[in-house]
Amino acid sequence: MDGSEPGADDLVFSCRDLRYAYLGRFPALDGVSLDVHKGEKVALLGPNGCGKSTLLKILDGLIFPDGGTFTAFGQPVTEDNLEDEQFSAGFRSRVGFVFQNSDAQVFSPTVREEIAFGCLQLGLPTGETAARVDDVLAMLGIADLAERAPFQLSGGQKKRVAIASVLVMNPEVLLFDEPTAALDPRTQAWLIELIADLSAAGKTIVLATHDLDALDVIADRCVVFAEDHTVSRVGTPQQVLTDRELLLRANLIHERSRVAL
């Protein structure tokens, strides 16, 4: 079983038979294939340690598969290709990644500098960067945090800053690693609405999540991983959520869990 949907022309990502093992011994992906099309919302579901985060890192060109191929926007993404300045700048400006651990992503001395970081690295002029930063700060309602240091922020605020730091680059594709994890209900609801809005604005979204409650809002298509690091099912949120056996097998629910549809 693979995560490909036939018949679409505007392919963003194409993964074929991806294999990856940490330290060469601990498998994280074992023959995973997946296509992502422009404007899609794809949710990667599965138990902890099944390879969702590893796949996201491969999709962002941060790590490279031991086997299989990965192409983005029709170009193979390899370590060698990403050493090319133009390819790297093009790829990085088109794909944004919001890490699960906001503390790792928010590393600059102030929120303003954090948000400006990506644009400056990609060579955007300082004036335009500053204007974009102000716009994103206002859009996410964090203008009052602009001069704050990261250690002065709450978990929810750090998540907003991390998202702002990616949105400011205006990427075509947004990758989210467990975006709603460890957030309070209000911030979770805000984030789910934001993902829906970004999708409505034409962004392609790939996210790893355990959040089944919001699945129909944050995904058009679900890719369910099995504990053996393979893709066990691809389907719409409705198809996945109604397949109780699949959810149990993939360790997404417990026998006593009730899934709201």
Partner 1 sequence: MGGTVQASRTPDWLLRGEPGLCRCGPAGIRRKGSFVEKTLTGGADLLRQVMFSEEIAGRPGLLQRLDPRLKAVSLVVLLVAVGLVHHVGTLVACYALTLLLATASRLPLAFFIKRVWLFIPIFSGIVVLPATLSIVTPGEVVLPLWHWHGAPQGFTAQGLTSAALVISRVATSVSLVVLLTLTTPWTRLLAALRALGVPRIFILIIGMAYRYVFLLLGVVTEMYEARKARTVRARRNDRAARGFVAASAGALFGRAGHLSEEVHLAMVARGYRGSPRTLHAFRLRAADAVAAVVVLAAAVTIYGGDVLVGR
Q: Which residues bind partner 1 (CB under 8 A)?
A: 57, 60, 62, 85, 88-89, 92-93, 96-97, 99, 101, 103-105, 107-110, 112-113, 116-118, 120-123, 126, 129-130, 133, 147, 149-152, 165-166, 169, 254-256
Integer angstrom CA distances of residue 150 from 41, 101, 179:
30, 13, 18
Shortest spacing between CB 199 and partner 1, in angstroms:
21
CB 31 within 8 A of CB 17: yes
Nearer to partner 1, 32 or 106 (CB): 106
Nearer to partner 1, 28 or 215 (CB): 28
Shortest spacing between CB 238 and partner 1, in angstroms:
27
Shortest spacing between CB 49 and partner 1, in angstroms:
15
User: What is residue 225's DSSP assignment?
Assistant: E
**CA-CA-CA-CA torsion for 80, 70, 220, 47, nearest 10 degrees?**
-100
Nearer to partner 1, 36 or 214 (CB): 36
User: What is residue 229's DSSP assignment?
Assistant: S
What percent of the residues of the chain are helix, what percent strand, and what percent coil, each to the nearest 5?
40, 25, 35
Shortest spacing between CB 249 and partner 1, in angstroms:
16
> What are phi and psi for residue 20, nearest 5 degrees?
-150, 135
Nearer to partner 1, 3 or 96 (CB): 96
Shortest spacing between CB 122 and partner 1, in angstroms:
4
CB 196 within 8 A of CB 15: no
